[in-house]
Amino acid sequence: MAKDVLRQSQIVGLFGPGAMLDLPERSVIVSSVDDWNMRGPNAFRTIDEPRLSDMLRERLTADGRWIEGRPLNLRTPPIGNTDPRQPSPQIQVRAFPAWLTCDDPTAQDARRRRMVRWTELDPQRRMYWVDDAGKRQQATPIRFVCGCKKGHLQDIEWKQVIHGAIACAEPMWLEESGTSAEARDARIRCGCNKSITLDELFIKGRLGKCYGFRPWIGDREDGCTELLRLLTRSATNTYFPQVATVISLPVAEDELTRRVAEVMGYMTAATNPAIIAILRTANPQISENLKGYSDEEAFARLQQLRDGATAAASKDPHVAEFELLASGRQVIGENSSGARLHAETLNRDVWDPDRDPLCAGIASLVAVHRLREVSCLYGFTRFEPAPLVEDELEDVGLAVEGAPLGINNDWP
Ligand SMILES: [Zn+2]
Ligand SMILES: [Zn+2]
């Protein structure tokens, strides 16, 4: 059987832990990162991007989703290997939902489908349901589940939703009238003839309160106060990844931060770049640490560090990216195959030879030849997209809370 293979960018973008997806043979939810098989010598790579890991650690700790002080590493998803003798690292999934529907020959109308639970399917493969006449019927996962805006997710308790507290052991059917996939055209009917249209399930509170189930982790979280809401599995509002992205700056940028930070204590008198020049001649350690960097660069970095932005970057990585690209340096980064960033500030004579008044508002133009962008999936939301981590840093506030990708790892 061919393995199901996903591109790494799909995992970070669309199919991370907690996402539901339809594989050729069944519907599943992607398991938490705790369950992924990351063994083997080349199962994954760690990504060294301190600006991104610092930002995430700070943000997730503030959100209560990361234990204070726990190191945070960035990893690639499992990397498929090309050697068939080696076991391939794998992303784990769990079957979800647990309610399915099957053709039922005893029903007069072909659009009336029998509802069965996962546990009623053939025990070996869980693919078929044996109908009342002894025939095998292929099971199709039901389209409707429910969840809350904290990301919790569960099957709809169909029996309970239809009957309330009254126990009823009759089988149930999904009846679809009309040709549309509209909720108002679908009805779940019990053998006792009690029924409910899917439309009614949109009524606030009709599905009951959320119990905090997290099927991607396999547990439940206490204390959720939300009401359950209907989710159509194939709809786009079932999963919004929370992804943070930075551009990798040349190592020298972080190196400069380190070098300036080391001698910062001796530079309290520096109020402008000219004083940096004086301090260099007066203090051999400053001179040593700032070797290769201009007074202006050193002063700018000193200012950032003074602004409380330890690793200025960790506060807002995009400011650091902008500052570098807008630095006016002719060559930014370096032109080599191993370089993470190579850009050039274009000479104004090239792009604005006549000093066109329309171009007056453009301070400089930078050609970026090569860059590395690192994106990290750090959570997800349902129903509504979450603000980006960068927005949150600007205090837009958490309109939607993110759900964790796992609970026991040193990577998000
Ligand atoms: Zn009933
Ligand atoms: Zn909940």
Q: How many whole angstroms from 91 Cα to the centroid of ligand 1?
A: 39
Q: How many whole angstroms from 238 Cα to the centroid of ligand 2?
A: 14
Provide the pLDDT for residue 262.
Answer: 82
Q: How many whole angstroms from 133 Cα to the centroid of ligand 1?
A: 22
Task: Specify whether the CB–CB gap between 257 and 380 falls below 8 A.
Answer: no
Q: How many whole angstroms from 158 Cα to the centroid of ligand 2?
A: 18
Reduce the DSSP state of residue 278 to 3 states and report it.
helix
Q: How many whole angstroms from 262 Cα to the centroid of ligand 2?
A: 47
Tokens standing for residue 385: 């997209």
d(CA 79, CA 164): 48
Provide the pLDDT for residue 266.
Answer: 85
Q: How many whole angstroms from 152 Cα to the centroid of ligand 1?
A: 27
Provide the pLDDT for residue 151.
Answer: 92
CA of 336: how far to CAs of 109, 326, 343, 404, in Å?
Answer: 68, 21, 11, 38
Q: How many whole angstroms from 71 Cα to the centroid of ligand 2?
A: 28
Backbone angles phi, psi at 349, to 5 degrees: -60, -25
Provide the pLDDT for residue 38.
Answer: 77
Provide the pLDDT for residue 82.
Answer: 65
Q: Which residues of 163-193 are buried (b: 16+ CB within 10 A; e: fewer)?
A: beeeeeeeebbbbbeeeeeebebbbbbbeee
Q: Between vectors from CA 72 to CA 71 and to CA 75, what angle results, nearest 5°?
A: 140
Give residue 99's Cα distance to chain centre.
27
Backbone angles phi, psi at 76, to 5 degrees: -75, 160
Provide the pLDDT for residue 39.
Answer: 75
d(CA 36, CA 46): 15
Q: pTM to 2 decimals?
A: 0.76
Contacts of 346 (CB under 8 A, 6+ apart): 364, 365, 366, 367
**Which parts of 248-372 are beta strand (E)?**
331-333, 341-345, 366-371
Q: How many whole angstroms from 223 Cα to the centroid of ligand 2?
A: 8
Q: How many whole angstroms from 20 Cα to the centroid of ligand 1?
A: 29
Provide the pLDDT for residue 402.
Answer: 73
Q: How many whole angstroms from 401 Cα to the centroid of ligand 2?
A: 10
Q: Across the 412 residues of the chain, what is the mean pLDDT of every consecutive 10-residue run?
A: 62 83 89 81 78 82 80 81 67 92 77 91 89 89 93 95 93 82 80 92 93 93 94 91 84 75 85 92 91 90 70 61 84 81 91 90 92 88 77 41 71 60
Backbone angles phi, psi at 314, to 5 degrees: -65, -25
Task: Specify whether the CB–CB gap between 61 and 53 falls below 8 A.
Answer: no
Handedness of CA 235, 63, 372, 410 (dihedral sign): negative
Tokens standing for residue 389: 């981590």
114: which strand partners? Answer: 102, 173
Q: What pLDDT digit, counting tens, does each position of 265-290 carry?
A: 888 888 999 999 999 999 999 999 99
